Amino acid sequence: MRGPKLNFSTAGTKVLLPERINVLRIGLRIWVWIVAAFINFLVCLAVFPAITALVVSQAGEGLWAKVFFIPVGCFLVGGC
């Protein structure tokens, strides 16, 4: 049966109950987009650390360049 189901309460008023949603059926209809999102996420997780490791600070040899540049850069770029 499609559409909302009718349920009668004790007061005699009609109450509409929503149809049950089948998540598997929805997943089968949008499987291409699910796979594309998964591949995009997987590639980002694989590429981001490698690119981050290649970045070098041009600020010189101070504490900022040696200690804080990579963690702060990862936090700022990774959060966007």
Structural domain containing residue 54: 23-78
Q: How many domains does the chain have?
A: 1
The conformational region for residue 60 under phi > 0 = left, psi -120 to 50 = alpha, else beta, is: left
Answer for the pair 74, 57: CB distance below 8 angstroms, yes or no: no
**Side chain identity at residue 43, one-letter code:** V
Q: Does residue 18 lie in a domain region?
A: no
Domain contains 16? no
**What was the pLDDT predicted at 59?**
79
Nearest C-alpha neighbor of 16 from the set 29, 4, 27: 4
Quote the pLDDT of residue 34: 96
Instruction: Give pLDDT tens digits for 25-79.
Output: 999 999 999 999 999 999 988 888 788 778 888 878 888 888 888 888 878 877 6
- What pLDDT was estimated at residue 57? 84
**Distance in angstroms (rounded) separating the CA atoms of residues 66 and 32:** 44
The pLDDT assigned to 42 comes to 93
